[in-house]
Structure 1
Amino acid sequence: MTEEEKKYKGWIWTLSVVIPLAVAALFGVNLRKLGYDVEPLSFLPPIYATINGLTAVLLVWAVSAVKRRKLKLHENLIKLCMVCSSLFLLMYVAYHMTSDSTSYGGEGALRYVYFFILITHIILSVIIIPFVLFTFVRGIAGAYERHKRLARITYPMWLYVAVTGVVVYVMISPYYAH
């Protein structure tokens, strides 16, 4: 383990616990129901779904770049993926703090498909946090072999979370209150 990795290890584990706990806590806070005069940010879901889609495209591009030995492009694309994922998270929390939750209205087998995708998306979105952060730090620290080994696990999980975020939005979008 490099000195850089040691330096960030505590932060990574702290963020990996604090982020999901904060999201869960804030998810249950609706400012309007608490009496605050805020407009519902109902315009955000298509924006953060688009950001999820963009993240998926950037991840595929980043892997393609590293395979072509375009290492600086790979690094920049991954940094952009991290910015996109952070923006998604901020918008997601802001939406849920100002808007009523939307229930999925589909029926039959599609309902089971939706909930399977949603549940796996949520679980992996929590699990992926330390994977992304450790993979990133290993790359920045120059621990390339260890970075590469972890990235083989991180990449498909992160891609799944990004793609299923879009799928969840597409499936629930007809049920948003307008």
Structure 2
Amino acid sequence: MSQTLQNNSKKYKIWIWILSIAIPIAVAILFTVRIPGVERLGFLPPIYATINGLTAILLVAAVIQIKSGNRKNHERLMKTAIILSALFLVMYVAYHMTSDSTSYGGEGALRYIYFFILISHILLSITVIPFVLITYVRAISGDFVNHRKIARITFPLWLYVAVTGVIVYVMISPYY
């Protein structure tokens, strides 16, 4: 790796780890906060579920673009996916700061399926944070060899989180 790439990598590495740890901790803490006097933001779940769906579509489109040699379109789509993911996170936290969590009311096998999807979604949504950040930094640093290597891991993780976010919403929406 060239000296410039090494310097860029070191420059971002600490920020990647700070964000990868701080974001899940902040979300967990904010889950315990209720904003007094603020009306419940019950309109947000279908919006942030839609954002998850759009993110999934953008991720697939971005892979298609890069495989077609359209690096600029790939870059635009990926930046948009990152922005949408950040927007999702803000809305998700805002909703939970104004509303109690909704309990799943399904029974039987669907209940086990729901909780499997929910738990795997939550765990992978935490896990994917450093992968997305590292993948992005390698791209903006011009380290495309290592970018491709980690993108092969990041893509399915991120896609799973985006798709299961929609599935969790669809499964729990009757109980809001």
- Tell which deviates more after alignment, 3-12 or 84-93: 3-12
**Residue-by-residue CA offset, 1:28-64 (whole Å, 9 max, x unaligned):** 1122xxxx21100000000000000000000000000
Q: Which runs of 5+ in 2 are unaligned?
A: none
Residue 28 of structure 1 is matched in structure 2 by 32
State the identity %: 67
TM-score with structure 1 length normalisation? 0.95
**Matched ranges for 1:153-168 at <5 A:** 153-168=153-168
**Matched ranges for 1:1-178 at <5 A:** 2=5, 3-31=7-35, 36-176=36-176
Structure 2 distance, partners of 1:118, 1:146, is 31
| Superposition deviation, residue 126 in structure 1 | 0.3
Structure 2 distance, partners of 1:82, 1:8, is 17
Structure 2 distance, partners of 1:100, 1:157, is 28
Return the letter of the residue paired with 1:6.
Answer: K
Structure 2 distance, partners of 1:162, 1:86, is 12
Q: Which runs of 5+ in 1 are unaligned?
A: none
DSSP 3-state at the match of 1:131: helix
**Residue-by-residue CA offset, 1:96-149 (whole Å, 9 max, x unaligned):** 000111000000000000000000000000000000000000011110010000
Task: Count the aligned residue pairs.
Answer: 172
| Superposition deviation, residue 79 in structure 1 | 0.3
Structure 2 distance, partners of 1:101, 1:120, is 18
- State the Cα RMSD in Å: 0.7
DSSP 3-state at the match of 1:135: helix
TM-score with structure 2 length normalisation? 0.96
